[in-house]
Amino acid sequence: MTHPTENAPDPGLQLHFRSCLGAFATGVTIVATRAPEGDAVGLTVNSFNSLSLDPPLVLWSLRRVARNANLFRAAGHFSVSVLAVGQLALARHFAVSAPDRFAGVAHHEGLGGCPLVDAAIAWFECETVSVQELGDHLLFVGRVLRCARVPGLPLVFHQGDFGRTIALDPEA
């Protein structure tokens, strides 16, 4: 019996590559910063991940051609708000281009003036330590200066759809 990778299409075929990536479920976050003019800037991100415990580092990526790429590149800080199941509308709101995505969105100001979305289940306040151009994306690495969490179920993204986690029976 052959393994599925033996006859797989070239990963350079973007639809195939994206489909394979979609098999990996991720959390859903709002990554935000404060523009030099003072405007709050944020977007829905599912590329957020931990990088290091010592020192505490996290990473996320953004398309190089994204409208706010240069603002995030120049910013010294960013925040990450991990969305809860009940925040699907917020995830969709921050996923589309709009002039002021934070208008009417409950949030608090964190370190560096970065917005922290209320009712999220975890928050990370970060100092940007590295921005690298890799392929068609920018990879941001941040040192976590403060973080907190509250109980709740995370919003997840899998195969192009939003969902929720389900606890497994420990006997399974």
Tokens of 99: 């002039």
What is the largest distance, in Å, between two alpha-carbon atoms of the chain?
A: 60
Question: Where are the domains positioned within the chain?
Answer: 26-156
Confidence of residue 110 (pLDDT cuts 50, 70, 90): very high
pTM of the model: 0.93
CA gap 63, 139 in Å, rounded: 9
The CATH class, in words, for 26-156 is: mainly beta
**Radius of gyration of the chain from Cα atoms?**
17
One DSSP character per residue, 48-111 reads: -EEEETTTTEEEEEEETT-TTHHHHHH-SEEEEEEPBGGGHHHHHHHHS--S-TTTT--EEE-G
Confidence of residue 71 (pLDDT cuts 50, 70, 90): very high
CA 25 from chain centre, in angstroms, equals 13
Q: Give the pLDDT of residue 170.
A: 86
